[in-house]
Amino acid sequence: MTTDVTPSLGAYVAGLKAPREAVRDRSAFLERCAAKERAPALAGLPLVGLGGSCGKPAFALPRPVRFDDAACERLERVAADFDAFVEYGAYPHLKLHDGGQEIAAVQDWSVGAFVFLRPGYERKEELLTAIATALA
């Protein structure tokens, strides 16, 4: 279940992470798990999880994506519109020209495509919408 009513995406993500002193506290973990039932949506897309090491929130695109040259060009145009560039590793990462901070990454799997967003990025909803449109 997702909802568009949350304090902020950043606050929601922070609430799912455990402080060091609580990593062995089962009841605190279960409280955080309960919050997943109230996961926010952004730009009409559901939050499906967090990146394993980075902790960025992940949003499911409406359908799987298969990257080809045309899809990469569309993603690069989106990046340019946000003063960013695309760095291609295992999957594309959008990074700001000013400082190289990662603002989004797109994972393409056989079961679906997911956009991981920096929760503190001011234009995150606009960026998510642009990525979803470009890769539709």
Q: Which amino acid is it at 60?
A: A
Task: Give the model's pLDDT for residue 52.
Answer: 64
Those residues with Cβ within 8 angstroms of residue 16's Cβ, 6 or more apart along the chain or in another chain? 32, 35, 36, 50
Say what the pLDDT of residue 4 is.
47
Higher pLDDT, 128 or 42: 128
How many Cα atoms are found within 13 Å in the side-chain-facing hemisphere of 112? 11
Q: For residue 5, what pLDDT is reported?
A: 46
pTM of the model: 0.76
Contacts of 9 (CB under 8 A, 6+ apart): 40, 42, 57, 117, 119, 124
Q: What is the pLDDT of residues 90-108, one digit of tens each?
A: 789 999 999 999 999 998 8
58-92 pLDDT, tens per residue?
999 999 998 999 999 999 999 999 999 999 987 89
For 23, the token pair is: 């990593």
R_g of the chain, CA atoms, integer Å: 15
Angle between helices 124-134 and 69-81 (to 10 degrees): 160
Model confidence at 7, pLDDT cuts 50, 70, 90, reads: low
